[in-house]
Amino acid sequence: MLTEQQVLDALKDVQEPHLGKSLIELQSVKEVKIKNNLVSLKLAIAQPGTAEQMQLQQAIVSAVKGAGAESVGLRFEKLSDEVLAKHGGGDGEEENETILDRAKSGKTTFIAVTSGKGGVGKSTVSVNLATSLARKGKKVGIIDADIYGFSVPDMMGIEERPKVVGQRIYPVNRFGVQVISMGFFVEDNSPIIWRGPMLGKMLNNFFNEVEWGDLDYLVLDLPPGTGDVALDIHSMIPQCKEIIVTTPHATAAFVAARAGAMALKTDHEILGIVENMAYFESKLTGEKEYVFGTGGGERLAEELRSEILVKIPLGQPEIDEDNFAPSVYDEDHQIGQIYSDLADSVIDKIGK
């Protein structure tokens, strides 16, 4: 039978993420209940509701289950001001630092995924790039900045909504990625009828009012083309990197060149080109069929003086009904491995 002392012993090496000290040293464990090896814990931490809490939850559950618990339930509250002051966790500059501040100081890299036209799989690339970066141990967020055509929550199988505490918004965590989308704030898939200034205000809220934490990368799924949202992104984040998505078709590549030209004119660095829907590979014969032609990615890379990072074939993830995410590829899937290579290329180019 698991005892309270065994639970506490299991937590000795688990550190509070913001203060960097053991939960036991901080006397964070406020309540322990055990019934038939089912453990319920109440803990006090420096900043509840943040991305770091999500990571802490996983560490606590792993440690307590390692001690013999069959199930672990957690509740969190904030540490007292006295404890925070004693251990150096008072209100400092870091707590008020926005994601834009982190970008300007080089702590967080913004990666905009864009295209010249819709229907080329830009959002699929955004979602799988973010997921692949997270699988490599990076702290990643994604903003579904396609305000009119938001799709990221559905693609990632997200049903919950962000938490709002006071004036702060806490993103949804899915596959280790912090997610914010206009889709979270629209009821019943209603259409968005907004003009440019209102769109810019919403984007500004996503940057300044969301508790992103200490991200390594923030992926921006931009709307296609060179409209208001793209212009706002370019003016707000001059340090942003960009990935241009196209298909092999000549017209898609021609139109994508406009998005690339905007990036170059605003001093955004183009990391490279992703040629999506590059071919269809038969499972029976292994033969490749170039459904949308060939050469579009090469022509675009040449025009933008860049390179093709990966070529992604037509395909569909294996559907897992228990962990439903219709557009996220498993890392051992053939296309999932290509996205893993894309993440490696991005990490190598950015040097982080």
| Fold that domain 4-86 belongs to in CATH | GMP Synthetase; Chain A, domain 3 (3.30.300)
Return the bridge partners of 29, or none: 43
219-271 pLDDT, tens digit per residue, is: 999 877 655 566 666 677 767 899 999 989 877 777 777 667 666 666 678 89
Which of residues 84 and 259 earns the better pLDDT score?
Answer: 84
Please tell me the total number of residues recorded for the chain in this structure.
352
- Please tell me the predicted confidence (pLDDT) of residue 259: 67
* pLDDT at residue 193 is higher than 60: no
Residue 199 has pLDDT above 70, yes or no: no
Instruction: Please state whether the predicted TM-score (pTM) of the whole model is above 0.85.
Output: no
Token output for 47: 């900043």
Contact 243, 309 (CB under 8 A): yes
Mean pLDDT across the chain, nearest whole number?
84
CA distance 140 to 131: 8
Render pLDDT for 94-105 as a digit per residue (tens, 0 to 9).
456 788 888 888
Residue 92, pLDDT above cutoff 50: no
Span 338-347, average pLDDT = 96
CB 226 within 8 A of CB 262: yes
Give mean pLDDT, residues 152-178.
88
Does residue 197 carry a pLDDT above 60?
no
Name the more confident of 251 and 62: 62
* pLDDT the model gives residue 100: 85
Give pLDDT, residue 296: 85
Alpha-carbon gap, residue 215 to 229, rounded angstroms? 22
Q: Does the pLDDT of residue 142 top 90, yes or no?
A: yes
pLDDT for 128 beyond 90: yes
**What pLDDT is attached to residue 93?**
40
The mean pLDDT value for 87-94 works out to 56
CA angle 244, 250, 254 (to 5 degrees): 50
Per-residue pLDDT for 307 more than 90? yes
Are both 4-86 and 99-350 of the same fold?
no
Q: How far apart are CA 318 and CA 326, in angstroms?
A: 8
Domain-by-domain residue ranges, the chain? 4-86, 99-350
Strands 140-144 and 217-221 come out as: parallel
| pLDDT at residue 187 tops 70 | no
State the architecture of 99-350 in CATH terms: 3-Layer(aba) Sandwich (3.40)
Q: Which of 132-146, 227-241, 248-262, 331-345 has the lowest mean pLDDT?
A: 227-241
Mean pLDDT to the nearest integer, 23-29: 92
Task: Check pLDDT > 90 for residue 341.
Answer: yes
pLDDT-derived band at 327 (thresholds 50, 70, 90) equals: very high
Lowest model confidence (mean pLDDT) among 3-17, 102-116, 193-207, 337-351:
193-207
Q: Name the residue with higher pLDDT: 255 or 303.
A: 303
Q: What is the distance between the alpha carbons of residues 248 and 122, in angstroms, rounded to a whole number?
A: 14
Q: What is the pLDDT of residues 40-53, one digit of tens each?
A: 999 999 887 666 77
Question: Looking at residues 121-139, what average pLDDT do you find?
Answer: 95
pLDDT value at position 173? 94
Distance set, CA 33 to CA 61, 75, 281 (Å): 14, 12, 55
